[in-house]
Chains A and B, each alone.
Chain A
């Protein structure tokens, strides 16, 4: 534990701690005694933050803190699931492209170029337009937004591995392409893939909350932090805590993910301490 915190540096260690707490809250939220505070008219309406209600209450007398804790879960689930799916698919495609080369590699490179040509939010809007508003379209949008980055990163990492002696040795001893890729190459690109996933997770969280804020992502009664902001934004000037508290928690979560990604990259790639993404 101490070694980990030394390698990451103080800010990243705090970030890691905050994220662990948030994810834990997301996992056990259903078992927390928050239900009574989420019930309509369980408290006074639009009460400012204080000792009793740390984030205040909303227009229907629900505790904003309880609703934020509920929103954290879906924010993490939607973005993490999409990024994980994109990482698995993207890593496979990237490894195969680099290992096979030839026309398959060219075709894959061209497809990622086209996907890359679109700014993330625009791609998200196009997908929301095609699929219609909903949680699923947010998931698909994040998947396609982060997929090309994953393919590129894994492809270039694989290219540097496949020329190494142990890969040649495996090939000579008769290992199949699948065995070479998943047994010999995959463990060597795992670190790069995981660090990249941290960045992509922060992008996923921004896209999810943005789409949900526009009413195109998570739909009520389900709630993510972005959807919560949308729901409460009508009360911004009369009860600012209803909007600013979930906004602050969302920004903090994204910052922690970003900073942790920075620190992790500095550890595995000391020559490249400052990422550009």
Chain B
């Protein structure tokens, strides 16, 4: 009973903390964007007279003090109104929601690739210490973490668009129009997006296994004559899983940022590319809402990971 209450309390605290973080980001971004030199009007209507500029400012709702705008903006957001894009004149929420499935699909595919390929390879490299495989794993992980997403992306776009190797580099077909066609377009950007995370998981799983292997409980299990399969499952994998899980939350956040670059390279119309484009165009409403959306997704992922720990490792819940 006490444990259940403890967990309920921890969930409540974590959720409150998550909400506070998202609010802090929103506030920071709002006042940060207020400090930008040269307003939207100056950038888009550089030839307008001061009177015309004043009129345009009122028209776009950019008048009033920063504090007034801030509270108006917060209230509107709580009502689900994220404003209107200054560039396309469409509701910001529509613009973001329309692009979200693409970005999420890329992220999920990349996570699946990382989990299915990076983790087993890392464990294998850790088990076969001092072998050529292990050394290749170490250098390979560093190589993967050293090639920027957009460099590998550019290479793949060139390779696959010039030589037509089956997968499509650029363009998008939603899942609703057939999984095969969808994957044909999604796989290449997802692989590029997964590379850094793949390297990170490989290195972490490898060093995790290396560390656990030398510990007393593994040696004891060996001396008791347990089969290698049992030792791997019972003693090694379970203890490697916790650092790897932490890393997954970090990687998920990294993928959100990486998506900006990958979507730009592959010319995909996702949330990331919209955000980068909007920063360049000073489309404040889209930038503010986009940053808040990404921060919210990331904070929620971290909260879930923290709560998962408490379930896996009872010692953490007790604190």
Contact B143 A276, beta carbon cutoff 8 Å: no
Would you call B142 an interface residue if the criterion is a C-beta within 8 Å of the partner chain's C-beta atoms?
yes
Contact A122 B298, beta carbon cutoff 8 Å: yes
Would you call A129 an interface residue if the criterion is a C-beta within 8 Å of the partner chain's C-beta atoms?
yes
Would you call A81 an interface residue if the criterion is a C-beta within 8 Å of the partner chain's C-beta atoms?
no
Complex Cα distance, B148 from A132, in Å, reads 23
Q: Considering residues B143, B146, B207, B256, which has the most beta carbons from chain A within 10 angstroms of its beta carbon?
A: B146
Contact A274 B207, beta carbon cutoff 8 Å: yes
Encoded as 1 (CB less than 8 Å from any B CB) or 0, chain A from 90 to 107 comes to 000000000000000000
Within 37-95 of B, Cβ neighbours of A (below 8 Å) are at: 37-38
Would you call A189 an interface residue if the criterion is a C-beta within 8 Å of the partner chain's C-beta atoms?
no
Would you call B203 an interface residue if the criterion is a C-beta within 8 Å of the partner chain's C-beta atoms?
yes
Point out the residues of chain B lying under 8 angstroms from A206, CB to CB: 148
Would you call B287 an interface residue if the criterion is a C-beta within 8 Å of the partner chain's C-beta atoms?
yes
- A214–chain B nearest beta-carbon distance, Å: 5
Would you call B161 an interface residue if the criterion is a C-beta within 8 Å of the partner chain's C-beta atoms?
yes
Within 233-277 of A, Cβ neighbours of B (below 8 Å) are at: 233, 236-237, 240, 243-244, 247-248, 250-251, 254-255, 258-259, 262, 274, 276
Which of the residues A126, A214, A259, A274 comes within 8 Å of B29, measured between beta carbons?
A126
With A244-B158, A247-B151 in contact, do A119 and B261 touch (Cβ < 8 Å)? no
Task: Report the interface size for chain A: residues with CB under 8 A from the other chain.
Answer: 44
- B261–chain A nearest beta-carbon distance, Å: 6
Encoded as 1 (CB less than 8 Å from any B CB) or 0, chain A from 111 to 128 comes to 000100111111011101
User: Interface residues of B: mostly helix, strand, loop or mixed?
Assistant: helix
Complex Cα distance, B258 from A248, in Å, reads 19
- B82–chain A nearest beta-carbon distance, Å: 15
Contact B32 A126, beta carbon cutoff 8 Å: yes
Contact B276 A214, beta carbon cutoff 8 Å: yes
Would you call A11 an interface residue if the criterion is a C-beta within 8 Å of the partner chain's C-beta atoms?
yes
Point out the residues of chain A lying under 8 angstroms from B207, CB to CB: 274, 276
Complex Cα distance, B27 from A130, in Å, reads 12
Complex Cα distance, B256 from A147, in Å, reads 21
Complex Cα distance, B282 from A233, in Å, reads 23
Point out the residues of chain B lying under 8 angstroms from A214, CB to CB: 260-261, 264, 276, 280
Contact B158 A130, beta carbon cutoff 8 Å: no
Chain B contact patch, size range: 35 or more
- B146–chain A nearest beta-carbon distance, Å: 4
With A119-B253, A122-B256, A258-B142 in contact, do A129 and B299 touch (Cβ < 8 Å)? no
Would you call B3 an interface residue if the criterion is a C-beta within 8 Å of the partner chain's C-beta atoms?
no
Point out the residues of chain B lying under 8 angstroms from A250, CB to CB: 148, 151
Which of the residues A121, A209, A236, A251 comes within 8 Å of B254, measured between beta carbons?
A121
- B204–chain A nearest beta-carbon distance, Å: 6
Would you call A61 an interface residue if the criterion is a C-beta within 8 Å of the partner chain's C-beta atoms?
no
Contact A244 B155, beta carbon cutoff 8 Å: yes
Given contact pairs A119-B256, A121-B254, A250-B151, enumerate 12 new A-B contacts (beta carbons under 8 Å). A114-B24, A119-B298, A121-B261, A125-B275, A125-B279, A126-B32, A129-B291, A202-B146, A213-B261, A247-B150, A251-B148, A254-B147
Q: Which residues of A pack against B, CB within 8 Å? A: 11, 114, 117-122, 124-126, 128-133, 202, 206, 209-210, 213-216, 226, 229, 233, 236-237, 240, 243-244, 247-248, 250-251, 254-255, 258-259, 262, 274, 276
**Can you show 12 pairs from A to B with CB atoms below 8 A apart?**
A117-B299, A119-B250, A121-B258, A121-B260, A122-B298, A125-B275, A125-B291, A130-B36, A210-B148, A213-B150, A216-B279, A236-B154
Q: Which residues of B pack against A, CB within 8 Å? A: 21, 24-25, 28-29, 32-33, 35-38, 138-139, 142-143, 145-151, 154-155, 157-158, 161-162, 203-204, 206-207, 210, 243, 250, 253-254, 256-258, 260-261, 264-265, 275-276, 279-280, 282, 287, 291, 294-295, 298-299, 302
